[in-house]
Amino acid sequence: MKDFRPSGETAIRISANPTYTLDAGSKLFRSIIQLIRVKQWIKNGFVFVPLLFVFALPSFSQIAGCAVGAFLFCLVSSSVYIMNDIFDVAKDRAHPVKRNRPIASGAVPLGAAYLVFGLLLTSSLVGAFFFDRIVALIILAYFVINIAYTIFLKKLMFIDVFTISLGFILRLCAGFRILHKPVYESCNVWFILFVMFLTLFIGIGKRCSEMKLLGNDSTGFRESLNGCSIAQLEQLIIMLMTCTIMSYAIFIYISEVKALFITAPVLMYGIFRYHFLNEKSTIAGSPELIVYKDRPMRTCLLLWAVLFISICIVRTYVA
């Protein structure tokens, strides 16, 4: 019987697996998901926080409006992450951890990264423009501030963490706008101050962890740490922890809902727990991982939300 087994180039063509391209495409897709940092989207939950200031069960339209606002922030924040990775690709390749990022590792080509960046940014700005013009301006301001951060603000000591904190405040302002609640009311102002101190506390803590991890090489990867010492940052962390707790206490004191005082111990535990993990845990320096992976932190956040919502239910149906 004649042997029909192919040989040479014919064998190579026939034996080529047609699923190879699909596997490569699937790998690229997973790398893009990693590039846009979906796990970081939890930060955009700050758009929902002003729902708590209704001090009653929110309507479906209010929840839906905040959901749209949070999604638009997810798009623009992901575009910012891509922009930062493109800008810092050379430094990331020399970093012991960041070298595994999709662009630095070569998993996502620069051309694909630019394409995804453009699609996300355009979608967020256009979507926000049709949703609410003021929210669109807030999102545009968020993007412009982050451009400035990427180019030069992140090199300035302490200005870098203030810039990051401002990003969270802009998310809050977007939520207040969606719910048509004035930002300048004293209760809202003190809550914004609480968020500012909280995010500064987390930001300084992250930089302190980086200094402990990288030692003398830390200034090479984050120029804003030049001239800082671990002892100085630890002092700032204690100060900001105190300011965070005090501002939340004042927020409760001037609030019309005095029952909120029962949420204070839960908040304090969460702050203490985060500080402990940021000092001792293997996931130190990654706020989102601390929230995702630490069960006591997740329980604390859930309990705080349940207490807040329970107070709102009581005010709606009992008071």
Q: Which domains, and CATH codes, for the chain?
A: 39-47+57-183 (1.10.357.140), 205-214+228-319 (no CATH)
6-10, 153-157, 268-272: the lowest-pLDDT one: 6-10
24-38, 180-194, 258-272: the lowest-pLDDT one: 24-38
pLDDT at 32 over 90: no
Distances (CA, A) of 28 to 107, 108, 123, 214: 7, 6, 21, 30
Confidence (pLDDT) at 11: 45
Q: Mind listing the pLDDT tens digit for each residue in 151-162?
A: 888 888 888 899
280 or 42, greater pLDDT: 42
Average model confidence (pLDDT) for the chain? 83
Q: How much of the chain exceeds pLDDT 70, in percent?
A: 85
Nearest to 216 by CA among 204, 228, 199: 228
Q: Mind listing the pLDDT tens digit for each residue in 196-248?
A: 999 999 889 888 877 777 665 655 566 777 777 888 888 999 999 999 999 99
Q: Mind listing the pLDDT tens digit for each residue in 100-137?
A: 788 888 888 888 889 999 999 999 999 999 999 999 99
Q: What does pTM read for this prediction?
A: 0.81
Confidence (pLDDT) at 20: 45
Nearest to 181 by CA among 55, 313, 53: 53
Q: Mind listing the pLDDT tens digit for each residue in 70-94?
A: 999 999 999 999 998 888 887 777 7
